[in-house]
Amino acid sequence: GVQAGVYIRGRSAGEYKVSLRSVGEVDVAAIATALGGGGHVRASGYSVFGAAVEEIVPTVLAEIRKQLQ
C-alpha cells in the first residue's frame, strides 16, 4: 500500500506549497525539515520558491525513497 502522499499546490507565480502525509515508515517531518519546512511525523510541509513542479517532484520522491530503504 501507500506509505506517503504528496500534494503540490501552486500559490502564486513561482511559489508552491508541498504537503506531505504518511501512514507508515516515512517520517515526513524529517523530509520537510530537510527541504526548508517542518511539521509532524505524519503530516508536514514546506514551500518552494522559483522552481517548477518538474523540479520539485524528483526532489521530494528522492527523499521519500531514502526513508524507505
Q: Report the distance separating Cα 45 and Cα 36, nearest Å.
A: 9
* Range 2-15 average pLDDT: 92
Q: Is the pLDDT of residue 1 over 90?
A: no
| Helix and strand element counts for the chain (H, E) | 2, 4
Q: Supply the pLDDT for residue 12.
A: 85
What are the tens digits of pLDDT across the range 23-64?
988 999 999 999 999 999 999 999 999 999 999 999 999 999
Give the three-class secondary structure for 42. coil
Q: Residue 59: left if φ>0, alpha if ψ -120 to 50, beta else—which one?
A: alpha
Q: Supply the pLDDT for residue 13.
A: 84
